[in-house]
Amino acid sequence: MIHEEKKVAKIVEELTMFFFSIGATEMESSIKREGSLDIIHFKSNYNPYYRSNLHYLEKYLNEPRNEGLEDIYWELAGSGEPGESSQLLLIGLMIDRAQIQIGESQVELRLFKEMRAE
């Protein structure tokens, strides 16, 4: 199953780069496995100047999961320029659902990914 864990690690990496690109100075991430479900918790501050970029989180992280594309493109996560919205779209295609809370100075995400047997 290490293939699936690599995907989760790429998701965290891409979120980290996205938040760096919008001025984050403090980030926290954790991964919790409950049976076959991985829950990624990510919390970050951001520079208010880039608040408009946060709409990409809601738009792309709530795309329907596409396992066919996930298998083909997951290794591309992290390969683009930091903060590219296409990388968020790729994450959206890799997860089952997202809970997103955007505050005045911080964002909190919970991403849910059902792990499949290889």
pLDDT in tens, 23-50: 999 999 999 999 999 999 999 999 999 9
What total of structural domains would you count in the chain?
Answer: 1
Looking at residue 93, what is its pLDDT? 87
- Of 1-5, 30-34, 114-118, highest mean pLDDT: 30-34
Query: How does strand 37-45 pair with strand 97-102?
Result: unpaired
| Whole-number Å distance between alpha carbons of 78 and 70 | 14
Q: State the residue range of the domain holding 100.
A: 2-114
pLDDT in tens, 77-115: 555 555 556 678 888 988 999 999 999 999 999 999 998
Answer yes or no: are the C-beta atoms of 118 and 41 closer than 8 Å.
Answer: no
Which backbone phi and psi does 30 adopt, to 5 degrees?
-150, 155
pLDDT band (50, 70, 90) for residue 75: low
Question: What is the domain-level CATH number for residue 88?
Answer: 3.30.565
Neighbours of 41 (CB within 10 A): 15
